[in-house]
Structure 1
Amino acid sequence: MRMHLTGAVAAFLLLAGIGAAAAEDVVITPEQDTVVHEYVKKQPLASMKVPGVELNIGSSLPDTVELHEVPNVKYRYVVIDNRTVLVDPGTRKIVKVYD
C-alpha cells in the first residue's frame, strides 16, 4: 500500500509541475491580437532573413534582430521570412507567429 501511495504522490507532484509550467504560457488576448494585426498593417516592416533560427514558439532571436514596439502590447514584433513574429523583449523568445 505504501508503494502505491508514494507513486501516487510522485505522479501528483509531476502533474502539478506541468500545470505550473503551463501557467507560464503566453496568453495573447483577442484584443491584443487585434491591436497587433491593425498596427502591423499600418506599420509594415521589410522582411528579413535570420539564418539558423526556426520560426517556432519558444525559439530565441539573436540580439542583432531589431524588435519593434506595438503600442499597448508588452511584446515586440519583427518580420522574418515574410511572417510577422511576436517576441517577448525580455527573453527574445518568439511568442506567436502570424502567417
Structure 2
Amino acid sequence: MKVHLTSAVAGLLLLGGASFAVAQAVVIAPEQETVIREYVTTQKVDPVELPADVEVTVGATLPETVELHTLDVPDVNYQYVVVDGRTVLVEPDTRKIVHVME
C-alpha cells in the first residue's frame, strides 16, 4: 500500500512538473531579446495599467481591453505590451503571456 501511494504521489509530481515545463516552453534567445528591446524602444508604445486581478506572469491571460502591439521582429510570432517598464510577449490567438522581459 505504501509503495502504491508513493508511486501515485511521484506520478502527480511528474505531471505537475510537465505542465510547469509547458508554461515555460517559450525561450527567447539573448540575441532576440536585444532585437526586441530595440524594436520596442523605437515604437514609443505607451505602457498600460492592467486590471488589479491580472498578474504579469507566464501563462496569465490578458483581457480583451488590453491593446496588443505587433512585434515586427524576424522569427518572433508574438505581440507585445509594455507594463511597468517590462516588455510582455503575448500569444496573439490566446492572449496568454509567454515571456516577460525585465
Gaps of 5+ in 2: none
Could you tell me which of 78, 81, 84 is aligned with 1:78? 81
Query: Residue 13 of structure 1: CA displacement?
Result: 1.2
1:10 equivalent in structure 2:
8
Alpha-carbon RMSD across the aligned residues, in angstroms, is 2.2
TM-score, structure 1 normalization: 0.74
The residue that corresponds to 2:56 in the other structure is 55
Structure number with bigger Rg: 1
Q: Which has the higher contact order (CA 8 A, sep 6+)?
A: 2
For the pair 1:41 / 2:44, whether they are aligned, the reply is no
Alignment: residue pair count? 97
TM-score (norm 2): 0.73
Q: Secondary structure at the match of 1:62?
A: coil
Q: Answer whether contact 1:48 1:82 (CA < 8 A) is retained.
A: no
Q: Structure 1: 5+ residue runs without aligned partners?
A: none
